[in-house]
Amino acid sequence: MHALADGSLLFKEYKDPSKVNSGALADLVAFRQSLGASDLSRLDSLAAWPLCRVMEGGRTLGFLMRRAPSEMTWRTAAGSTKLLELQYLIRPPKVAWQEVSQPTPEKRRALTLACVEAIGWFHSAGLVIGDISQANVLWSLTPDTAVHFLDCDGFRRVGRAAVQAQAATPDWNDPLVPSTEATVDTDAYKTALVAARILTRDPYVMPGKDLTLVAGCLNDRQDAAVRRLFSQAAGERGTRPRPSEWQTALSDRGTIALTAAAPRPRPAVDHTVLDGLRDRTPINLRIPGR
């Protein structure tokens, strides 16, 4: 990774350009360029998206992207700056990174919600994320709770080719499919991993296991809903809960069961009026000009 100009842009250089699908990368660049102002702002706030390809002699060497927001970094005791990766949120605090401010239980829930909302937005835009893991999601508590996705050349548009072979992160793969496969369904499984691992501060918990949630994160309704969805995520492909379901489970309001309205009774019909004999009288038509 190389910083350019004032450091606000980064150049990601591929180690082996021959393994890069240049057309797929161009597709990601075009996706961003096709967005309206509102969606473009949303994408740029959520992701370090490829801005343009860098090419030489017909080969794609890499691409340019924006640097991650400064609030999603932290400074070590030695004075160096590091990215505030998801790993600092899903693992118990260590002395080596004691400078990282941990969220309150309520902020932890808010970060989980921000993460599943982001995944849901990507899906609604027709994207598959693929490699969701502790190293490529950043987070921040200031000025508000927010998340930011890295390695966005690993994304792909639904039904289209990937830029490179699908990356696989240990302990983050869907056990029902090869690690080289990426679909909306594998994203759904990894959404369950993200949500549960943030809420439990356990980097290894998996669907089918019991959840020991950080105290105070969830109210009773949210707790029950999260446990139900996490259990459901252990099911077959196509049955995993979608990001929108996690969003509802983690929201302040939840769902409200509505009783279907009873149809208004139809008025009784007097069939004798319709079936009886009627005295038809002649209809006088006016002749034009008279």
Type of residue at 199: L
Type of residue at 127: L
Task: Please state, in angstroms and as integers, the Cα–Cα distance from residue 261 to each residue in 254, 255, 267, following that order.
Answer: 22, 18, 18
Q: Write the DSSP assignment of 221-244 as a string of letters.
A: HHHHHHHHHHHHTTS-TT-SPPHH
**Could you tell me which residues come within 8 angstroms of residue 113 by beta carbon, excluding any fewer than 6 positions away?**
247, 250, 251
**CATH for the 72-250 domain, from 3.40.50.300, 1.10.287.3510, 1.10.1740.10, 1.10.510.10:** 1.10.510.10
Phi then psi for residue 140, to 5 deg, are -150, 150
Structure tokens at 130: 């693929």
Please report the pLDDT score of residue 264 as a whole number.
55
Structure tokens at 134: 């502790």
List the chain residues with pLDDT less than 70.
Answer: 254-290
Could you give the CA distance from residue 130 to residue 15 in angstroms, rounded to a whole number?
Answer: 20
Kindly report, residue by residue over 223-251, the tens digit of the pLDDT. 999 999 999 999 999 999 999 999 999 99
Please report the pLDDT score of residue 256 as a whole number.
45
Please report the pLDDT score of residue 215 as a whole number.
96
In the DSSP assignment, the letter for residue 97 is G
Could you give the CA distance from residue 139 to residue 20 in angstroms, rounded to a whole number?
Answer: 29
Could you give the CA distance from residue 157 to residue 104 in angstroms, rounded to a whole number?
Answer: 36
Please report the pLDDT score of residue 258 as a whole number.
44
Please report the pLDDT score of residue 7 as a whole number.
77
Q: Which run of H or E residues covers position 110?
A: helix 105-124
* Residue extents of the structural domains in the chain: 72-250
Please report the pLDDT score of residue 257 as a whole number.
44
